[in-house]
Amino acid sequence: MFPQQKPDFVANLIQPSGFHSRSKRAVGYFVFFTVTLAVLMALLIIFLDPLQFYHRSTWYTPVFSTQERYQNPGLAKNYDYDTIIIGTSMTENFLPSEVDKSLGGKTLKLSIEGSTVEEHYKVAQLALKSGKVKKVLWGLDYFSLKDVTAEDKQNFPDYLYDDKWWNDYKYWYNSSVYVQFAVSLKNMYLGQANDLEHLNNWNDESVFSKAHVLKSYNDQSASEAYFGLNEEDTPQLQQRFDTYINQLLIDYPDVQFYFYYPPYSIMRQLAWYNTNPKRYNNQLEMRKWMFQQFEQHSNARLYDFQSEAQWTFNLDLYKDISHHNEQVNSWIAEAIGRDDSTYRVSADNIEPLNNTLISQTTSATIDKLGNVYAYDIRIKDKSFPLTSRVIQGDGELFVTATEAALALEATLTWDSISKTAILANKQQKLEMTVGNNIAKVNGKEVPMTNPLLLTAGRTMLPLQFVADQLGWKTTVHIAGAAYLLTIDSP
């Protein structure tokens, strides 16, 4: 009799037991080595710490990251200072050593290019919580009060600004920090070191000239019209001010805050005035409203440099319509350091400062070489602001045909075929043709210094010449770059 054969399925059941055991061990080893590797990588980054987020480097010379949102937390937490600089790229050209001399103390620059007041709050609060800060120099841009876009909010490294160590994994497992560490070693080997004095200072990398500002003006004027369609109302801006600035003044009463309005070129104001008037008017309203809030705090001072015509009318100090060179930052630091009453905002001068800025904006006129003049026009003893104006090389002011006719109480006819503008009142009829230095007054030929212009689709007329020919009485007073054209009734 043959022995009974065990069913095949029994043998099949025995083998998987060892297989599953080996699989579990393999998974266990994989998890163990993965966790170990992750821990070692985290410890390595904590030790190397290329952003100096946990500690200052001692055995190698670090290269500071140009990504200010990532680099600033490490600087704020681990460097020595008692004064900080807060703001946008308008503050990046400050030299900390010069701020030291002006305000006293040891300065650390924590500027962030293209930043908003919410981001300013985060980095300022991080430094203030350290207990080291005695003074804050804060460049307060109007457009920094805008809302943070969803994309910018998502990309901001909040994990570097909070007290939660467990979300720092985004730093531990970021390949870019290894690259930065490698660059640090390379620069240390080559003897190339960067310093906090010139960190993110773009002065030497930029070209400052009238030509660059004029190009920027043309580009920005086109884009401002779009921004005007989406301009926020002032209550929204005021709410952000209360949340991100006013609250810091309340929370840190023993810290002295020096706020200032940055001196954009006058062409920035002109771009807003002509193409985004809501922003221009909002700015004026906010300038006054913010001062009224600062006035309630003994630890806040406000300085206004936006109507300093010696700077804002000199386009060679700028690389575009907003950004000035390092020298202007030095002048600002010096003025704040001596508490210059010319710029210190008070209840007595806030309204005159606003009025001066309005007057400068409405009178700013540029010639074809990029020189800016303050060209005031008074008709019947009243100021007459014009939206568009050009000066020819000999100082003759050109304005749009439409505004000239309105100002001089004349009718306007345009012959598109002959490109002739005809202005008339009850006594006079003036005809001018593009490119022709001879005008006609009641049919009689009269020479013109400069002919009618067509620029950017607009017809531009020499205002004083037109006023004279239509029978008005005109006088021009010149004082340096300031012109006053007075037009009185015939």
User: For position 400, which CATH number holds?
Assistant: 3.30.457.10
DSSP, res 434: B
Q: Is residue 33 part of a domain?
A: no
Do 251 and 398 fall into the same domain? no
Domain stops at, among 334, 360, 386 = 360
Query: 371 with 481: CB under 8 angstroms?
Result: yes
Q: Which of 77, 56, 52, 54 is nearest to 65 (CA)?
A: 52
Q: Does residue 21 lie within any of the structural domains?
A: no
Can you tell me the distance from the alpha carbon of 86 to that of 83, in angstroms, rounded to the nearest whole number? 10
| Domain end (from 333, 360, 387) | 360
Q: Strand pairing of 372-379 and 364-367?
A: antiparallel
CA–CA separation, 369 and 54 (whole Å): 53
The reply to whether 286 and 255 lie within a common domain is yes
pLDDT(104) > 70: yes
Task: Check whether residue 356 and residue 417 sit in a common domain.
Answer: no
Same domain, 269 and 229: yes
Q: Are 206 and 90 in contact (CB under 8 A)?
A: no
Question: Structure tokens of 106?
Answer: 């040891």
* pLDDT at residue 299, as a whole number: 99
My answer on whether 331 and 420 are in the same domain is no
Q: How many residues does this entry show for the chain?
A: 490
Least confident segment among 46-50, 143-147, 451-455: 46-50
Rounded Cα distance, 424 and 417, in Å: 19
Q: Which of 182, 180, 172 is nearest to 43 (CA)?
A: 172
Q: Is the pLDDT of residue 424 over 90?
A: yes
Q: How confident is the model at residue 191 (pLDDT cuts 50, 70, 90)?
A: low
User: How, if at all, do strands 482-488 and 473-479 pair?
Assistant: antiparallel
3-state class of 421 per DSSP?
A: strand
User: d(Cα 475, Cα 454) in Å, to the nearest integer?
Assistant: 26
More confident residue, 228 or 277: 277
Question: 345, 358, 213, 343: which is closest to 272 by C-alpha?
Answer: 358
Considering the domain architecture, whether residues 119 and 226 belong to the same structural domain is answered as yes
| pLDDT score of 61 | 76
Q: Provide the pLDDT for residue 9.
A: 46
The answer to whether residues 490 and 445 touch, using CB atoms and an 8 Å cutoff, is no
Residue-wise over 171-186: b if at least 16 C-beta within 10 A, else e? beebeebeebbeebee
Average pLDDT over residues 453-477: 93
Residue 334 or residue 62, greater confidence: 334
Percentage with pLDDT > 70 across the chain:
93
Task: Please name which of 427, 433, 397 lies closest in space to residue 414, comparing C-alpha atoms.
Answer: 433
* Residue 91 in domain: yes
Q: Identify which of 84, 73, 78 has the alpha carbon closest to the alpha carbon of residue 164.
A: 73
In the predicted structure, residue 217 carries a pLDDT above the cut 70:
yes
Bigger pLDDT: 382 or 227?
A: 382
Mean pLDDT of 110-134: 98
394 vs 437 pLDDT, higher one: 437
Residue that is last in its domain, among 360, 380, 401: 360
Q: What is the pLDDT of residue 11?
A: 47
Structural domain boundaries enclosing 122: 68-360
Predicted local distance difference test score (pLDDT) of residue 93: 98
| Cα(442)–Cα(323) distance, integer angstroms | 50
| Residue-averaged pLDDT of the chain | 90
Amino acid at 330: S
Q: Which residue has the tokens 């821990």?
A: 39
Report yes or no on 20 lying in a domain: no
Residues 316 and 383 placed together within one structural domain of the fold: no
Q: Which residues contact 21 (CB under 8 A, 6 or more apart)?
A: none
Give the residue from 199, 299, 205 showing the smallest Cα distance to 258: 299
- Is residue 62 one of the residues assigned to a domain? no
Helix (H) / strand (E) containing 97: helix 96-103
89 and 131 share one domain: yes
Residue 410 domain-assigned (yes or no): yes
Ramachandran angles phi, psi of 87, nearest 5°? 155, -170
* 7-38 pLDDT tens trace: 554 445 455 556 667 777 777 777 777 777 77
Order of strands, edge to edge, in the sheet holding 256-261?
107-109, 83-86, 135-139, 256-261, 300-304
Q: What is the average pLDDT across 91-107?
A: 98
- Predicted confidence band of residue 339 (pLDDT cuts 50, 70, 90): very high
Does residue 46 fall inside a structural domain?
no
pLDDT digits (tens, 9 = 90+) for 408-421: 999 999 999 999 99
Number of domains observed in the structure of the chain: 2
Q: Give the containing element (helix H, strand E) for 16.
A: helix 8-48
What is the reported pLDDT for 309? 95
- Give the lowest-confidence range in 9-18, 321-330, 443-452: 9-18
Judge whether 4 lies within some domain: no
Give the β-pairing of 372-379 and 382-383. Answer: antiparallel
252 sits in the region (left: phi over 0; alpha: psi -120 to 50; else beta) called: beta
User: Can you give the pLDDT at residue 20?
Assistant: 66
Quick: pLDDT tens for 263-319.
999 999 999 998 899 999 999 999 999 999 999 999 999 999 999 999 999 999 999
pLDDT of residue 328: 99
What pLDDT sits at residue 481?
Answer: 80
Q: What is the CATH number of the domain that holds 293?
A: 3.40.50.1110
- The whole-number pLDDT of residue 1 equals 45
Q: Are residues 438 and 314 in the same domain?
A: no
CA pair distance 403, 405, nearest whole angstrom: 5
What's at 16, amino acid-wise? P
Beta bridge partners, 389, equal 399
Q: Does 430 or 19 have the greater pLDDT score? A: 430
Do the Cβ atoms of 369 and 476 come closer than 8 Å? Answer: no
Same domain, 338 and 401: no
Residue 328 parent element (H or E): helix 326-337
Per mean pLDDT, which range of 72-81, 98-107, 191-200, 311-320 is the poorest? Answer: 191-200
Angle at CA of residue 166, ends 161 and 169, nearest 5°: 80
On whether both 315 and 448 belong to a single domain, the answer is no
* Percentage of residues of the chain with pLDDT beyond 90: 67
**Token digits for 233?**
């109302």
**Residues 315 and 343 occupy one common structural domain:** yes
What is the pTM assigned to this prediction?
Answer: 0.86
**245 with 356: CB under 8 angstroms?**
no
